[in-house]
A and B are shown apart, each in its own frame.
Chain A
Amino acid sequence: MLRRGKINKVFKFLGAAIIAVGFIAPPAQAQTSSTNVAYIQTQTVSNGGSFPFSSNLAFSAFNFFQLPYTQVNAANLGAGGVCGASACDTVLLNVVSGSVTGVGSFYCNVNGLLSAQAKTDLISFVNNGGKLIIYDSECSTQNYGWLPYPFTTSNPGAQGATGTVSIVEDNDLSSNVPADTHYINAGILGSTTDAVGDMNVMTTRDPAWCLDMSGTNVNQVTGPTHTYARYGNGLIIYNGFDVDVMNTGTAPNPAVGSGNLAKIWLHELQVPFNPSPLASLPCGVSVVGITLAPPSATNDLSLGQNSHTVTATLKNLTGVPQAGVLVSFSVLSGPNAGASGACSADITCHSDANGQVSFTYSSNGGTGNDTINACYNDNQGQQVCSQNVTKDWVSGGTKCDLNSDGKIDRTDIQAILRLLHTTVPPSSPLADLDNNGIININDARGCTLKCTNARCAP
């Protein structure tokens, strides 16, 4: 009996080992989807409707955890907090929450009721790679001045009105293409529900917000209603739709009005983050109407890469390219601050039929980081500027000397350590000692052996 027991134990151990081997997988750099979602503070929407959670089969892949607004802090969002042993990776800020036991209503008072620390911790949560999804269905105008990218909105309230909405950018949040898994039927959503007529739209805008959907509400105000913004490693999504036709059992289905709302909610949970790849969320149209690309780039002066081109794209809020608009480009700071350059294809810097105009300038030979933007004047004569983009000028003469101060020391090595697990580009090629396209411990130790002074002293 003893031997048989031991044999059984051996088999149990062997089985466990085989299972362990079979399921071991390296973690992805980016999170491919939300998993542990903390919701502030109720599942129901006080103005009507409710969010589908795990009991809805389409949302069974996600875990939802209640977080009263009074308990929003870093500890509760971290490991061992409300999401259990694993930390929360996503927060649903349901601005239209009612009361929960022992905690008063959160109803449409996001700025007044969230403590300063809670706001700071939420922003820090995003900066460190978390996803924050904001819904303020049928609320009065909210104060979002505490967000890293503030905005104000036009809020019609509960009117029961229909309206029109456009998908401006095909991405992982929504798509105009019926064959795309992210397809949203904007026509059905606007015409068969009050999701669009009663929606809140942005009226003041920060160029960091990227436009997914815009439309016209019952107040005849046209603006962005579904937007996203990267902040640090994380992602913020704003959803201004009226969601009172969506309920816990609503199935994501583009053929049904409410099903489109559920499908948008599903896409918001599914969209990759930490960080969000450009393939999922290209940010092709900023909410201000002008977008500058590429967002960042590195040139190696030692390889003769001494000029840089950025391209501004102008589109209106429905995504239509704007031709013939005069655009001014500025190198705001960096080694080439104030540099002049040349526009193309139109040398007078007016946008073409695609709404695009490019700007090329040359380096003065200095290394460092340039910050660039592009601006135009809107119909009211007000200057509207794009988000800032950057250009890192390096000289490939000295691998490992990331700060280009002519010596390799602890400052450079620690900069390489901060780049561990990243790829080149966007990481600096100077950190990639072995030129294999990734920054790893081999680069860090290899550069240590090249330090100018013993122990890499500065």
Chain B
Amino acid sequence: MKRLILSVLLLASVVLLGERSASAVSIDFVPSVAAVNAGDVFSVDVVATGLGAAPADIVSAFDILVSFDPGIVTPTGFSFTNNLGDPALFEADNSATFGSNPFATPGFADLFALSYLFDGDLLTLQSALLSYPDVPLATIDFTANVGIPNGSNPNLAFVWDAFHDVKGSNNTPITVPEPGTILLIGAGMAGLGLSRRRKAKAANI
């Protein structure tokens, strides 16, 4: 029975990793799941990863909708990086709707930023980052309402629809994996790791 379970998880990993490899660029949470106690404040970065393959070699604009479980976490703050330009120098504009805005839809945070820079200027700016080809975009601060390691999960996920997108070079949309895919990859990888441990132990006997 266990072998069957692990085989299913392994197969899921292979299938989903195949999907991911087809999407060179993705938008991720870093870290993907935080381990904190009730009342702790923790931050999650929103990062574009895997840039470098034209036409999605930069992020020129984004409008990102993040869903979360308001029973488990409460958003308390946000900040944007200057990786799309410095708003103080009129190189970019950004805004967010959640938390202190009493009219934000519960369980969702909307963040958008837009660069006024040319694509070439953005490539110079972003490729100079030490993290490149990963480009941090924003940070969301949360307070944990419950202890997350104790069987809870904030269920952080991106919601992509007609109003939410990430733009690369020449205003081309950046391909991103479905939010559920991200979560399932985690489960599949766990299964893969466990399977390898079992085989290693069997070989030692």
Query: Which residues of A does B touch, CB under 8 Å?
Result: 3, 6-7, 9-14, 16-17, 19-21, 23-28, 31, 35, 74, 77-81, 85-89, 125, 128-130, 233, 274, 410, 413-414, 417, 420-421, 436, 438, 440-442, 444-446, 448-449, 451, 454-457
- A282–B138 alpha-carbon span in the complex (Å): 41
Q: A24-B159, A86-B70, A417-B93 are in contact. Are A77 and B102 (CB under 8 A)?
A: yes
A20 and B153 contact, CB distance less than 8 A: yes
9-residue interface stretch from B22-30, B39-47, B49-57, B180-188: B180-188
Point out which of A9, A24, A25, A233 has the most chain B C-beta atoms below 10 A from its C-beta.
A24
Residues of A within 8 A of B101 (CB): 78-79, 87, 128
B11 at the interface (CB under 8 A from A): no
- A81–B102 alpha-carbon span in the complex (Å): 9
Interface pairs (24), CB distance under 8 Å: A6-B190, A7-B194, A20-B180, A24-B179, A24-B180, A26-B65, A26-B161, A28-B105, A79-B102, A85-B70, A85-B71, A89-B103, A410-B90, A413-B116, A420-B112, A436-B162, A438-B162, A445-B61, A445-B167, A446-B171, A448-B61, A448-B115, A449-B170, A456-B90
A455 and B186 contact, CB distance less than 8 A: no
B91 at the interface (CB under 8 A from A): yes
Residues of A within 8 A of B114 (CB): 413, 417, 441, 444-445, 448
A438 and B74 contact, CB distance less than 8 A: no
A17 and B183 contact, CB distance less than 8 A: yes
B106 at the interface (CB under 8 A from A): yes
A47 vs chain B, min Cβ distance (A):
31
Residues of A within 8 A of B60 (CB): 445
Residues of A within 8 A of B65 (CB): 26-27
- A24–B154 alpha-carbon span in the complex (Å): 12
- A85–B9 alpha-carbon span in the complex (Å): 36
A14 and B62 contact, CB distance less than 8 A: no
Please pick, from A13, A25, A74, A233, the residue contacting B190 in the complex, using a CB distance under 8 A. A13
Residues of B within 8 A of A6 (CB): 190, 194
A162 vs chain B, min Cβ distance (A):
41
A21 and B179 contact, CB distance less than 8 A: yes
B5 at the interface (CB under 8 A from A): yes
Residues of B within 8 A of A441 (CB): 61-63, 112, 114, 164-165, 167
Residues of B within 8 A of A421 (CB): 163
B155 at the interface (CB under 8 A from A): yes
B127 at the interface (CB under 8 A from A): no
Task: Encode contact with A along B91-107: 1 for CB under 8 Å, 0 otherwise.
Answer: 10101000111111111
- A12–B184 alpha-carbon span in the complex (Å): 12
Q: A13-B186, A445-B60 are in contact. Are A74 and B116 (CB under 8 A)?
A: no
B116 and A455 contact, CB distance less than 8 A: yes
A457 and B103 contact, CB distance less than 8 A: no
Write the chain B residue with the least CB distance to A74.
Answer: B102
Q: A7-B194, A130-B103, A444-B114 are in contact. Are A13 and B74 (CB under 8 A)?
A: no
B155 and A16 contact, CB distance less than 8 A: yes
A376 vs chain B, min Cβ distance (A):
38
A53 vs chain B, min Cβ distance (A):
20
- A210–B153 alpha-carbon span in the complex (Å): 46
- A9–B118 alpha-carbon span in the complex (Å): 47
Residues of B within 8 A of A233 (CB): 103
B93 and A17 contact, CB distance less than 8 A: no
- A404–B177 alpha-carbon span in the complex (Å): 39
Per CB-CB distance, the 6 closest pairs between chain A and chain B, nearest first, are: A21-B180, A87-B102, A17-B183, A27-B105, A78-B102, A441-B63
- A445–B104 alpha-carbon span in the complex (Å): 24
B171 and A13 contact, CB distance less than 8 A: no
Residues of A within 8 A of B99 (CB): 79
Please pick, from B5, B74, B187, the residue contacting A79 in the complex, using a CB distance under 8 A. B74
- A363–B67 alpha-carbon span in the complex (Å): 46
Residues of B within 8 A of A129 (CB): 103
Write the chain A residue with the least CB distance to B193.
Answer: A6
Residues of B within 8 A of A78 (CB): 100-102
- A448–B84 alpha-carbon span in the complex (Å): 13
Residues of A within 8 A of B191 (CB): 10
B194 and A3 contact, CB distance less than 8 A: yes
B139 at the interface (CB under 8 A from A): no
A88 vs chain B, min Cβ distance (A):
7
B102 and A128 contact, CB distance less than 8 A: yes
- A10–B194 alpha-carbon span in the complex (Å): 9
B173 and A442 contact, CB distance less than 8 A: yes
B161 and A10 contact, CB distance less than 8 A: no
Write the chain B residue with the least CB distance to A12.
Answer: B151
Residues of B within 8 A of A74 (CB): 102
A267 vs chain B, min Cβ distance (A):
22
